Amino acid sequence: MNLRQILLAIALSSGLTLATVSHAQHRHWWRTADSIAPTTPTGLAASAVTSTSLTLSWSPATDNVGVTGYRVYVNGTLLLSSSSTSVQVTELLAGGTRSFTVAAFDAAGNVSAPSAPLSVTTPALTTTTPAPAPADSIAPATPSGLAASAVTSTSLTLSWRPATDNVGVTGYRVYCNGTLLFPSTSTSVDITDLLAGRTCAFTIAAFDAAGNVSALSAPLSVTTPPLADTTAPTTPPVSLPQIQWSAGMETGDLSEWSEKVNSGSADSVAVTALVAGIPPKTGNWVMRQSVTGSSGGTRMHRYPEVDALSRAGTTFYWSWWDYYPTKISFGSSDMFMPWQLASNDASGVGQPLWGLYFNGSNSTLILGWNPAGGAPAEGPHAGESGKKAYTSVVPVPVAQWVFFEVMIKPAGDFTGAIKIWMNGQVIFDQSLVKTRFPYVSLGGFMYATQNAYGSGLTPIPAHHYVDDVTISLGRMPYP
């Protein structure tokens, strides 16, 4: 047996694994694996320390074969491995203290002891809050040079010199006799719907974006000329009918009415025409009646005068101005009613009523008769029974004030009458009809209501505005 065979036998008996080697390598194939760890790294240092990052460096370790890399630990937890002796550590929490150590390792997996720990505290973040800008508390200068031009009986143009402000003038407020008319962003406004022959003291105040308001300008008193008298000398002057009651909402509320009754999604409130975004009719205030959901009704009642005139059998007139901002439409199974005349029996139960309804497709009006549950079946004319509907062919205008008049001749038999005008034009005329429950000795009572009552309306909310409601013994002037 030669030397190679002896060595091979020794290797096999010792459990060594043999590999084929080249002729140049066969002299070293029996060497054992590397088990010597690198030396411990030294000189651990931190530089370029910020609130959230730093650079860590150390002196190179040595190894019997060679150092492959280094493992960097923070607080004993492996952070990363590197083949160099310098690493950048990022995404640290500001204001925290950490203990860094480094261990070297070689290709055989031998790892050195960790280096001496290096404790590093990152600085806390610093924030600088800018000082708040001082609030603007300086009011604009008082407007001056107020002047009126193009004065007519019902309108004029008001102008003034621009005011100044430390930041900038946002707009102006225009007043008449101390009452705010409207704001404006310009220094010239057209004022309409004035009363002829009236005097108004105009003043102007400037305001800025911070809400500072200047003192009022010096007042400018303007008297509009009276309307020209076009009446022929032989024609007697028009006299107003005897007014029994009226409501103009100029008290800023609905206190002139007897009662408000709401059901479903609807309400009546007093608002200024300026807030409503519509032209005023008379004064500043109007009544807004609205249906705000899929169905609902709001009814403003007036009892004493209607009931007293009805009991006396006296013919009377109910008139009002109405403004519809947009067309109100609805389907065939829905409805909208702006006015009604109703009566109760002696037990207080609602009985026959006349109502004014809209046609949902073309905005014409329908005059409806509803005998209700307890009224005698016959009516409204003799020989008729059940509900009746009378139609008009004139649509209600939108985006303008419209004047309605209703004449009522109260009667519980077939001698009554109801006649309706819109802007001076007759649209309904029913005579020889019942207009109230046929009471014995006129028990119970009769009343009228201004309404917004409907369902399935477009748009929602559906608004209309009412002003100058009057009960009188004759027709009110129009226009």
pLDDT digit string, tens, across residues 70-122 = 999 999 999 899 999 999 999 888 888 999 999 999 999 999 999 999 999 99
Distance CA 266, CA 461 (A): 9
- CA geometry: angle at 168 spanning 166 and 173, to 5°? 115
pLDDT tens for 160-182 read 999 999 999 999 999 999 999 99
Q: Which residues of 228-247 are buried (b: 16+ CB within 10 A; e: fewer)?
A: eeeeeeeeeeeeeeeebbeb
pLDDT tens for 228-249 read 766 665 555 546 779 999 999 9
Q: Quick check: bond before 410 cis, omega within 30?
A: no
**Could you tell me if 338 and 322 are in contact, meaning their C-beta atoms sit under 8 angstroms apart?**
yes
Please count the other Cβ atoms lying within 10 Å of the Cβ belonging to residue 26.
Answer: 11
Please count the other Cβ atoms lying within 10 Å of the Cβ belonging to residue 395.
Answer: 14
Q: Residue 241 has what pLDDT? A: 77
Please count the other Cβ atoms lying within 10 Å of the Cβ belonging to residue 256.
Answer: 17
Q: Residue 26 has what pLDDT? A: 41
pLDDT tens for 207-220 read 999 999 999 999 99
On the CB side of 216, CA atoms within 13 Å amount to 13
Query: Tokens for 34?
Result: 């590397």
Q: Quick check: bond before 352 cis, omega within 30?
A: no
Evaluate if residue 1 carries a pLDDT over 80. Answer: no
Q: Write the DSSP string, 310-346.
A: HHHT--EEEEEEEE-SS--B--TT-EEEEEEEEEE-T
Q: Give the percent of the chain with pLDDT over 90.
A: 70
Query: Cβ contacts of residue 427 below 8 Å, gap of 6+?
Result: 365, 392, 394, 420, 421
Query: Tokens for 74?
Result: 């923070």
- CA geometry: angle at 200 spanning 194 and 201, to 5°? 145
Distance CA 258, CA 439 (A): 23
Distance CA 193, CA 479 (A): 13
Evaluate if residue 201 carries a pLDDT over 90. Answer: yes
Distance CA 288, CA 269 (A): 5
pLDDT tens for 340-395 read 988 776 676 766 789 999 999 999 999 998 876 555 667 788 888 888 899 999 99
pLDDT tens for 400-454 read 999 999 999 988 788 999 999 999 999 999 999 888 766 545 455 788 999 999 9
| Burial class (CB within 10 angstroms; exposed 0-12, middle 13-18, buried 19+) of 39 | middle
Average pLDDT, the chain: 87
How large is the average pLDDT for residues 299-325?
Answer: 92
Distance CA 133, CA 126 (A): 22
On the CB side of 52, CA atoms within 13 Å amount to 4
Q: Write the DSSP string, 83-99.
A: SSSEEEE-SPPTT-EEE
Distance CA 318, CA 469 (A): 7
pLDDT tens for 12-32 read 444 444 444 444 444 443 346
**Could you tell me if 296 and 256 are in contact, meaning their C-beta atoms sit under 8 angstroms apart?**
no
Model confidence band, residue 281 (pLDDT cutoffs 50, 70, 90): very high
Evaluate if residue 224 carries a pLDDT over 80. Answer: yes
Pick the more confident residue, 253 or 375: 253
Distance CA 331, CA 333 (A): 6
Kindly report the backbone phi and psi dihedral angles of residue 20, in degrees, each rounded to the nearest multiple of 5, phi listed first: -75, 130
CA proximity to 101, closest of 77, 72, 59, 122: 72
Q: Residue 383 has what pLDDT? A: 86
Q: Residue 466 has what pLDDT? A: 97
Of 9-18, 86-95, 248-257, 291-300, which range is least confident?
Answer: 9-18
